[in-house]
Structure 1
Amino acid sequence: MGIGVTAGAVAVGGVATNASASERGASDSSGAADSLVFDPDDYTEVTESIADAAGDKHTVVYRFYKPRDYVTNPSDSTHQSLVVSVPVKIDGKAVDASRAPVVFANSVGAYMPSSVAKATGVGQNELEMTGMAAPGGGGSASGAPGGAPAGGTSAGGPSGGTGAVNGMVNLAKLAVVAGYVAVEPGARGRSLTDSSGAYYGTAPAAIVDLKAAVRYVRFNRGRIPGDTDRIVSTGTSAGGALSALLGASGDSPLYDRYLEEAGAAPASDAVFATATWCPITDLEHADGAYEWIWGTNATQSTGKTVDQTVSKALRTQFAEYQAGLRLRGLDGYGPLTARNYDDYLLRTYFQPSATKYLAALSETDRTAYLKKNTFITWSGGRATFAWDDFLTHVGARKKTAPAFDAFDLSAGENNEFGEDTTEARHFTAYSLANDTTGVTGKRLASDIPGLLRLMNPMHHIEERNRNRSRHWWIRLGTSDSDTSPTVSANLAAALDNLGDDVNHEYYWDQGHATNVDPGDFITWVARVCGYRKR
């Protein structure tokens, strides 16, 4: 059953938002610094050949609004700025994007910084991975450096997609060629340090920046072209986690002091719809979720299984956490537990995913695929297989154990929780207790619980945040061992249980950061936003 809007909140474009915030956002510029007023006449007209979701090229004329700060007190303008792209002609035909959806496309990967400071056109948001060491025992926050797709699975399935950038279809370009408005925000990330060596882009900097950017867009309603009440957030990997967090935490007061310090615009930071690909999220429970599925698979780096004592301990943690969530599966499945999650994934996602993939092949190609992958039974136009055979099919896992809070503090997520001049910190009691770096103390740092709350969409969903998105697009590859499939499945189930509109699928044989149905996504945006081209 859906959640109603209580007194004291108003519905803005289908999103319940804090009344005072939305009222201020709808007012004129007198209540905010002049630097946050968007000038609709300050643009460069760009003509570019852009491929649509099907790969067909189109001549697109669009207005490109150069990088501008989205806060009045930026700690780093190189990253705390955004660009806007508005189509005006596609293949010579005029486009009226004045009421088009706004696709808010973040390019964060690995919780690293991203920047549009050098952008001269749409789709030039840069993910910064320079200078980062190769991942250690725990792997990195996004998997492959630079967000590249993991691909190359044992199944030999394809990876990536049309117009892939950083291993992901460029959603900003797809938005513009579809006639939508694209907003690309930069954001601070975990590798940034100041002159004293202090880290200033670690949690919760990235989500604060994305919220501030949304506030900027909504504050400039009527000045920024497009329907600013129909913002659709997108992101992949760590960016997918941030997109999910942005959608789940709309107008949460937990972020107010950070937004005030940055000088964010006085407006709502709720987004209408949320799209997330392979989100690296629910970090405090991610180690257990990872071991639950990949615990007995050999690792890519060693060809051996991980320490089974560690793996079993983490699997036990997952079972306890999953029971505590009290989630019910989609399509009337019933309670989800560690004991039946394999059956749930097979029935609800993996077998339908394989069926969809095989049905789309020619008879010749399907026969060849089934000959190579004999564990699949193809009967009556439906694929079935056993769980253990599926795990064997995927093959070696990407990360060691623990996958996210590494005992030696080598995981990207450890750096995400760094503080001051401390590069990396533990964020789970289990890894702290088993630390191999000499960290002392029996308790996590006092600020860690609060930071986890700020960085996890599940917390906001559990609290039934009224200002969350109500429309969700969630995708993950079945061969993606950068994370656990239960992470996105739990996200989908939690939202579904609240009555939200959830569109969740897994791509068969796909690795990390892949997108094989971009056209369906573009169509979905129009449908949930109720948009028809003029």
Structure 2
Amino acid sequence: MSKLIYVVDEQFNGINTYSDRNGSGTMTSEQIKLSEELKNMFPNYLNSLGIRSPNGTYLALDKNGNGTFKDYMKSSLVESAQKALNEGINLSGLNWVKIENGTVTDIDIDKYNEYVGRMKGTPAFDSLDLSAPENEEFGTTTINAQHFTQFSYKNTLVNNSSIADSTIVKMMNPMYYIGTSGITSARYWRIRYGSVDNNTSLAIPLILATKLQNMGYNVDFAVPWGVGHGGDYDLSDLFAWMDKICQ
């Protein structure tokens, strides 16, 4: 969970307006500055994971956020767009999808990010004013809301704010446990993240799926085309996947 604030601004840095079910807004100059800081922090974290694509390519980013991981993320969108195209969905109105002779050949990531749009201002999840639901998630019986990242705690706007216990924060991040000695993980995983879901970043489920695959687990990962945040849009496929495993 503590790493989520990095990755949102890796994807949506430069998009300074946001919109959610509570309304829309424009980030302040301070938020824009913090967004740049968070973006610059993400490559080091990503590179430290040592994850590899199915063909063995080491997935990494340079200081500008470019590299094999970005290409890998793009490939998941290309695959999703191609599936949609094959199913007869009209993609001609999307200027960030390049199609040649019925084949999706490229995705313009910057235009894609603008199309999807930013949902959360900076920092995502761990709000500087402790107003995010996630801040309450880390509350206690006596404290309503707490920070859960050193970044937001350092930049807090709330006097006498506190930060959640590091052990509890660690428990929210599966990356600390996958492949760890003494930890038993599920053998089968089905991970879906809609192509227009902007609650976090596509990088989050992609990192999780890749780490699991690298550790030898059976992972069914896909990016459903045109789907936003939700989990009940393909129940028949989900049940078929479960039945196949149980046979």
**2:127 aligns to what?**
406
Secondary structure of the 1:508 match is coil
Answering whether residue 220 of structure 2 is matched by residue 499 of structure 1, we say no
Q: Quick one: which of 416, 425, 440 aligns to 2:137?
A: 416
Cα separation, partners in 2 of 1:503 and 1:440, compared to 1, 3 Å: closer
User: 1:480 touches 1:511 (CA, 8 Å); kept in 2?
Assistant: yes
Between the aligned partners of 2:148 and 2:101, the Cα distance in structure 1 is 48
**1:460-479 superposed matches below 5 A:** 460-464=177-181, 466-479=183-196
Between the aligned partners of 1:459 and 1:376, the Cα distance in structure 2 is 35
Q: Which has the higher strand share?
A: 1
Q: Quick one: which of 391, 394, 397 aligns to 2:113?
A: 391
**1:17-416 superposed matches below 5 A:** 283-297=1-15, 298-300=17-19, 301-303=24-26, 307-337=31-61, 338-340=65-67, 341-347=69-75, 349-361=76-88, 366=90, 369-370=91-92, 372-383=93-104, 384-394=106-116, 396-416=117-137
Amino acid aligned to 1:404: F
Between the aligned partners of 1:430 and 1:317, the Cα distance in structure 2 is 11
- Deviant stretches of 4+, over 6 Å: none
Listed one character per residue, the Cα deviations across residues 146-169 of structure 1 (whole Å, up to 9, x for unaligned) are xxxxxxxxxxxxxxxxxxxxxxxx
Query: How far 1:450 moved relative to its partner?
Result: 0.7
User: 1:408 touches 1:435 (CA, 8 Å); kept in 2?
Assistant: yes
Listed one character per residue, the Cα deviations across residues 114-154 of structure 1 (whole Å, up to 9, x for unaligned) are xxxxxxxxxxxxxxxxxxxxxxxxxxxxxxxxxxxxxxxxx
Structure 1 residues not aligned, in runs of 5+: 1-282
Query: How far 1:495 moved relative to its partner?
Result: 0.4
Listed one character per residue, the Cα deviations across residues 337-369 of structure 1 (whole Å, up to 9, x for unaligned) are 34323211111x1011011112101xxx62xx4
Secondary structure of the 1:502 match is strand
Listed one character per residue, the Cα deviations across residues 21-67 of structure 1 (whole Å, up to 9, x for unaligned) are xxxxxxxxxxxxxxxxxxxxxxxxxxxxxxxxxxxxxxxxxxxxxxx
Between the aligned partners of 1:425 and 1:408, the Cα distance in structure 2 is 10
The structure number with the bigger radius of gyration is 1
Between the aligned partners of 2:160 and 2:133, the Cα distance in structure 1 is 18
Query: How far 1:440 moved relative to its partner?
Result: 5.5
Query: How far 1:512 moved relative to its partner?
Result: 0.8
Amino acid aligned to 2:146: R
- RMSD between aligned alpha carbons? 2.0
User: 1:295 touches 1:305 (CA, 8 Å); kept in 2?
Assistant: no
Structure 2 residues not aligned, in runs of 5+: none
Cα separation, partners in 2 of 1:456 and 1:439, compared to 1, 3 Å: same
Between the aligned partners of 1:354 and 1:464, the Cα distance in structure 2 is 39
Which piece of structure 1 moves more, 300-309 or 403-412? 300-309
Amino acid aligned to 1:457: P
Amino acid aligned to 2:45: Y
Q: Which has the higher helix share?
A: 2
Secondary structure of the 1:472 match is strand
Listed one character per residue, the Cα deviations across residues 417-459 of structure 1 (whole Å, up to 9, x for unaligned) are 1112210011111111111111257xx45xx111022222111
Normalised by the size of structure 2, how large is the TM-score? 0.87
Query: How far 1:477 moved relative to its partner?
Result: 0.9
Normalised by the size of structure 1, how large is the TM-score? 0.42
**1:525 aligns to what?**
242
Between the aligned partners of 1:439 and 1:512, the Cα distance in structure 2 is 35
Cα separation, partners in 2 of 1:326 and 1:309, compared to 1, 3 Å: same
Query: How far 1:305 moved relative to its partner?
Result: 7.6
Secondary structure of the 2:178 match is helix
User: 2:136 touches 2:145 (CA, 8 Å); kept in 1?
Assistant: yes
**2:158 aligns to what?**
437
Instruction: Count residues in correspondence.
Output: 236
